[in-house]
Amino acid sequence: MIRFLLVVIVLFGFLVASIPLVIGEYIIGKLNRKRQQEHSLRIVQAMFRMIFRITGSKLVVKGQERVPEGAVLYVGNHRSYFDIVVGYAVVPDLAGFVAKKEMTRYPVLVNWMKLVNCLFLNRMDIKEGLKTILEGIEKIKEGISIWIFPEGTRNENKDPLELMPFKEGSLKIAEKSGCPVVPVAITGTAEIFENHIPFMRPSQVTIEFGEPIYLKQLPKELKKCSGAYTRDRIIEMLKEEQEFRQTHRETVNVKRVQKA
């Protein structure tokens, strides 16, 4: 409970204290938009890294060298609010998340989200959804990566390998812009908070970037179901991580028995 209270205090304290910063970032943006985006990202990254440290968790990053240069579409599984925390903490360049439109109701928070290139999706309005896709394509053209969770909401299935179906339209940004799709497998974030609300507990979180997928190079039969294909790649990475952790636990147990 102490960790939860600390995170809440730090987060709300930052939002209140950062109001002058928000104003300053908007002023910088009028003079130099890219400088403002980079500066805002560094501030948000520092904030999220602090929050992650408060939870006492450990973060392992794998495959970051696989991410190609230039803007990409990050596509990940989604089990926790901490997916966004670790995602922003590790992205090397400008990137914005696609968030549900309901997030725009929170003052200051929504300002920071806009400053770091987040897009807001109205899941109930097809026309607005198309507008968000077009905005995402423009971001890609500007060299800003976009991060999406095609399951559409947090996955609460007990089995972390049981992902919900990926919405096929979610990869339209990559399809129309031609940017590569980078599958991202995130493990261990739900163990920080969602699995035992309201308590926060330390967890080992692994975020792995897979080999980029170039939609135009896929066989015709896979192009029609690129969302399902990407989902399968993420499940493969999650399964490998699960097997790695199981092997590691067994090795540790054997060593403990030998020492005893």
**How far is the C-alpha of 139 from the C-alpha of 10, rounded, in Å?**
30
Which among 11, 49, 56 is positioned nearest to 200, based on CA atoms?
56
Sign of the alpha-carbon dihedral angle for 41, 44, 49, 55 = negative
Answer yes or no: is pLDDT of 222 > 70. yes
Q: What is the DSSP letter of 216?
A: G
Q: Given a cut of 60, is residue 62 above it in pLDDT?
A: yes
pLDDT tens for 78-93 read 999 999 999 999 998 9
> What is the pLDDT confidence band of residue 256, given thresholds at 50, 70 and 90?
low
- Identify the pLDDT of residue 34: 93
State residue 28's pLDDT score.
94
**Cβ contact 66:118 at 8 Å:** no
Please name which of 250, 241, 246 lies closest in space to residue 61, comparing C-alpha atoms. 241
For 114-167, what is each residue's pLDDT tens digit? 999 999 988 777 788 889 999 999 999 999 999 999 998 899 998 999 999 998
- Please state, rounded to an integer, the average pLDDT across all residues of the chain: 92
What value does the mean pLDDT take over residues 241-249?
87
Q: CA-to-CA distance for 187 and 184, rounded, in angstroms?
A: 10
Condensed to tens digits (0 to 9), the pLDDT of residues 14-30 reads 999 999 999 999 999 99
The predicted model scores a pTM of 0.92
pLDDT (0 to 100) of residue 260 = 56
Task: Single out the residue of 181, 165, 87, 99 nearest to residue 132, CA to CA.
Answer: 99
Mean pLDDT of 99-111: 92
pLDDT at 249 over 80: no
Q: Rounded to an integer, what is the distance from CA 256 to the centroid of its chain? A: 36
pLDDT at residue 224 in the model: 84
